[in-house]
Amino acid sequence: MFIQAMLDKVKPDEGSFEHDALQRVNRQVNKMTTLIQNLLNNTKLLDGTMELHCERFNLHQLIEEVVFEAKLTLPGYFYILKDCSTAYVYADRLKISQVLDNLISNAAKYSPKGSEITIKCKVEQEKVHLSITDNGIGIAKNEQERLFDRYYRVNNDKIRNISGFGIGLYVVAEILHSHNSKIYLESEENVGSTFFFELPDAL
């Protein structure tokens, strides 16, 4: 709140060092707050005490927020949004943000720099269907069944230098399960992956 108050007082003049610096600090504070909240959510999920706080919200706006953060932390990719401008859902906004952040950041981490990451929406039969597609290393068929297990990491020499604890996709699957949804995967090695899930339409 203090940083936001300072931002309100500093004029956003072109090339203003003070305004740009405060914006960067504000983004990092927001990012850290989100990380802490996600950690608390994960702890509650793992011990079975997670609660949902559902509301109607603009999914396109949320995706743009997550992509904005991804561009800062994982630059060098082309993030493409398709057909999401009219999508409204009824869900827990913070937890769906965590789902999107995990899937989009994974798509970037396991793809070559300069490649496209496509987030697509389709409103159909009172559901909003989402897909996140990358052109990355892909996942072998024999690994796909266990991909959403807790602490499971794909056994692939190409990802040995990529950090991770093996709980991200497990958390994604559990959050979606709590929304009466499932996550699906289509993947081919050395071609890329697409993750699919759906949420209740709130139009």
pLDDT single digits (tens) 6-23: 545 555 554 566 656 666
**So what's the pLDDT on residue 42?**
61
Say if residue 91 is in the same domain as residue 135: yes
Least confident of 44-48, 108-112, 185-189: 44-48
Say if residue 46 is in the same domain as residue 60: no
Say if residue 91 is in the same domain as residue 148: yes
CA atoms of 163 and 156, how far apart (whole Å): 13
Q: How confident is the model at residue 148 (pLDDT cuts 50, 70, 90)?
A: confident
Say if residue 91 is in the same domain as residue 159: yes
Say if residue 123 is in the same domain as residue 34: no
Say if residue 173 is in the same domain as residue 100: yes
Say if residue 75 is in the same domain as residue 118: yes
Say if residue 22 is in the same domain as residue 104: no
- Specify the CATH number for the domain of residue 188: 3.30.565.10
Say if residue 113 is in the same domain as residue 39: no
**So what's the pLDDT on residue 3?**
45
pLDDT: which is higher, 112 or 149:
112
pLDDT: which is higher, 51 or 185:
185
Structure tokens that stand for 15 in this block: 């090339």
**So what's the pLDDT on residue 72?**
83
Total of domains in the chain: 2
- The model's pTM: 0.76
Please give the residue range of the domain that contains residue 85. Answer: 54-200
**So what's the pLDDT on residue 133?**
98
Place of tokens 């602490």: 151
Say if residue 39 is in the same domain as residue 69: no
Say if residue 148 is in the same domain as residue 83: yes
**So what's the pLDDT on residue 167?**
75
Out of 11, 34, 51, pick the residue that ends a domain.
Answer: 51
